[in-house]
């Protein structure tokens, strides 16, 4: 309550100051967009950068062959650096891709002055994904799929010069503006892969200049280029060499009803400058937004109740100032995970069922999201083709059943202790841990809470050393394969933190990778769902959503999860 009063007083004070200066909140500079990221960027290297903050930053400079249409949902892939869509062979194994001519890199390096993008630059980056010393988080895009990709890494070893000079069977340059990818099998998601920053072009001059270490250099062709950076901020300026691209002239129902087409056919980008401020403290971010120092802000969970309460003083003042509140369904899901290799919890299905039935899902939604998220009914997110809104999971909140399953598991109330691990050290993680502990306590299961930072959680989880934990997944591309991979045996140790493996799932996943027929894919997805529900490596909790605030000066805003280059579409008036 004291915090709320402080924030209200802060807002009123800031409003008074800005009025006295003759400014309107959020309109102090119509050419600069101020945003925030949580963490410093450890690497700009497109072979390595893969967390939300990194992709949000590098996505302003690094472009890919294809991109997502800004105003259409379901997501539609369209050309970016590619000159049209790829020509795909009948068997789906060969992609012939032409690139646009005259696209220039933005760099102060003399080696790259007036350098245009060539087909070989894309091949360079694919080779870098296979280059073992980089330990690229993007190698999975082509591993086992692109001819010669796996063998390439073994042949070139740790020598980046050999990497450049050695050819890869499945990545062939036909001329300066055409290349070919040859796959071992058809890959239904290849267009999505070629829309990811992992596949941005990298000129050979850059590799030579920095001896293949691109962690501190950011050179691309995008709408903005990195002008300066420090521990606290990153400043991007408009790229005067940016290719000819225009704001879309068509969109879905949301785009039309929200007046997002007013800038149709205007040249991109609109902004002159984008500044990312490194701020991890939610209260500081919140205050900075209210002070007009930030233009757009994802509402921290601790402030959701204030934002969604229409009668709050802060909400009324925000309405008066024209601060816009937007609510978007997310592309992320949250669940409780069990280590299926753990001799206690992983080998006892009845114990997992007991836990699944003792969670009050409605109360969880209230505590974790102020009822702004949706209770999960599937391992698939609603944003993914093939999601079934009528699907029902085999568990629900029922303490009597939970107690019965605990007895079947061979335990009496009070004699069992398990370890729950947090996926971070923010307030919300402690709140979540206490909730889980209290829920299991209702049936007599003792919970020891292990507190880890997010990086520690990832390291320990991907090593298969957690017992019981909350997990979360933000989709990399809009397809079920992206979530099912977390249940594949080959990905443990790794992203499969539950260390789950089942021959039925392995077979279905392999079959899913071979077919592009929509109906067949949906059928396979349903079979995967049923098997996972039987084995219960996960207890699905919720589909996440987000509240975004932006000042009235921001135009054309739409939450764009897969679209990393979305800032080029924004205006500030």
Backbone phi, psi, residue 348, to 5°? -130, 90
Last residue of a domain, one of 152, 184, 209: 209
For 29-83, what is each residue's pLDDT tens digit? 789 999 999 888 989 999 998 888 999 999 999 999 999 999 998 899 999 999 9
* Beta carbons of 214 and 202 less than 8 angstroms apart: yes
Q: What are the pLDDT digits (tens) for 161-196?
A: 999 999 999 999 999 999 999 999 999 999 999 999
The tens digit of pLDDT for each residue in 451-499 reads 999 889 989 999 999 999 999 998 989 999 999 999 999 999 989 999 9
What pTM was estimated for this model as a whole? 0.84
Taking a C-beta distance cutoff of 8 angstroms, is the pair 532, 305 a contact? Answer: no
- Calpha distance 497→193 (Å, rounded): 23
CA distance 110 to 114: 9
Residues 100 and 117 occupy one common structural domain? yes
Contact 274, 571 (CB under 8 A): no
Kindly state the average pLDDT of the residues 7-27. Answer: 38
The total number of structural domains in the chain stands at: 3
Question: Diameter of the chain by CA atoms?
Answer: 74
CATH code at 298? 3.40.190.10
277 and 340 housed in the same domain = no
Residues 190 and 258 in one domain: no
Q: What is the domain extent for residue 522?
A: 331-545
Average pLDDT, the chain: 91
Which of 209, 231, 254 delimits the end of a domain? 209
Residues 269, 161 share a domain: no
Do 338 and 314 lie in one domain? The reply is no
Average pLDDT over residues 230-257: 96
Angle at 267 between CA 261 and CA 273, to 5 degrees: 100
Mean pLDDT of the 309-326 span:
78
Verify cis geometry, omega within 30 degrees of 0, for the bond prior to 269. yes
Q: What is the pLDDT of residue 321?
A: 78
């Amino acid at each position: 309550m004291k915090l709320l009063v402080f924030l209200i007083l802060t807002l009123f004070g800031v409003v008074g100051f800005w009025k006295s200066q003759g400014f309107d909140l959020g309109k102090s500079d119509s050419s600069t967009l101020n945003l925030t990221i949580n963490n410093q960027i450890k690497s700009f290297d497109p072979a390595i950068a893969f967390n939300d903050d990194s992709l949000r930053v590098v996505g302003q400079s690094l472009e890919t062959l294809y991109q997502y249409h800004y105003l259409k949902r379901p997501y539609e892939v369209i050309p970016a650096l590619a000159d049209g869509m790829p020509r795909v062979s009948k068997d789906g194994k060969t992609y012939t891709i032409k690139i646009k001519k005259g696209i220039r890199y933005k760099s102060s390096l003399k080696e790259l002055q007036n350098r245009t993008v060539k087909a070989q630059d894309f091949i360079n980056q694919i080779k870098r994904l296979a280059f073992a010393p980089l330990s690229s988080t993007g190698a999975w895009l082509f591993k086992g799929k692109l001819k010669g990709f796996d063998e390439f890494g073994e042949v070139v070893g740790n020598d980046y010069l050999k990497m450049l000079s050695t050819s890869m069977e499945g990545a062939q340059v036909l001329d300066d503006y055409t290349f070919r990818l040859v796959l071992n099998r058809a890959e239904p998601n290849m267009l999505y892969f070629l829309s990811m920053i992992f596949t941005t072009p990298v000129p050979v001059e850059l590799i030579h200049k920095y001896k293949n270490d691109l962690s501190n250099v950011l050179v691309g062709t995008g709408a903005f280029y990195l002008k300066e950076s420090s521990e606290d901020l990153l400043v991007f300026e408009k790229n005067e060499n940016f290719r000819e691209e225009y704001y879309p002239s068509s969109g879905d129902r949301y785009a039309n009803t929200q007046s997002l087409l007013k800038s149709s056919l205007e040249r991109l980008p609109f902004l002159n400058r984008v500044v990312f401020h490194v701020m991890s403290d939610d209260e500081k971010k919140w205050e900075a937004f209210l002070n007009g120092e930030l233009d757009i802000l994802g509402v921290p969970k601790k402030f959701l109740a204030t934002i969604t309460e229409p009668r709050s003083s802060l909400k009324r003042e925000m309405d008066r100032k024209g601060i816009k509140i937007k609510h978007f369904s997310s592309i992320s899901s949250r669940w409780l995970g069990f280590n299926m290799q753990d001799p206690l919890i992983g080998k006892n299905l009845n114990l997992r069922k007991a836990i699944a039935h003792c969670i009050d899902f409605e109360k969880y939604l209230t505590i974790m999201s102020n009822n702004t998220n949706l209770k999960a009914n599937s391992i698939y997110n609603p944003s993914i083709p093939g999601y079934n809104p009528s699907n029902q999971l085999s568990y629900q909140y029922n303490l009597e059943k939970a107690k019965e399953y605990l007895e079947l598991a061979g335990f009496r109330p009070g004699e069992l202790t398990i370890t729950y691990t947090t996926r971070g050290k923010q307030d919300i993680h402690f709140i979540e841990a206490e909730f889980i502990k209290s829920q299991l306590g209702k049936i007599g299961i003792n919970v020891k809470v292990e507190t880890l930072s997010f990086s520690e959680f990832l390291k320990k989880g991907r090593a298969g050393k957690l017992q019981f934990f909350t997990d979360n997944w933000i989709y990399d591309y809009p397809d079920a394969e992206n979530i099912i991979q977390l249940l594949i045996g080959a990905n443990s140790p790794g992203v499969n933190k539950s260390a789950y493996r089942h021959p039925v799932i392995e077979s279905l996943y392999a079959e899913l990778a071979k077919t592009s027929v929509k109906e067949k894919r949906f059928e396979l997805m349903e079979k995967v769902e049923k098997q996972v529900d039987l084995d219960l490596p996960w207890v699905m909790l919720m589909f996440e959503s987000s509240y975004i605030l932006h000042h009235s000066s921001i135009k054309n805003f739409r939450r764009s999860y897969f679209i990393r280059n979305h800032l080029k579409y924004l205006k500030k008036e």
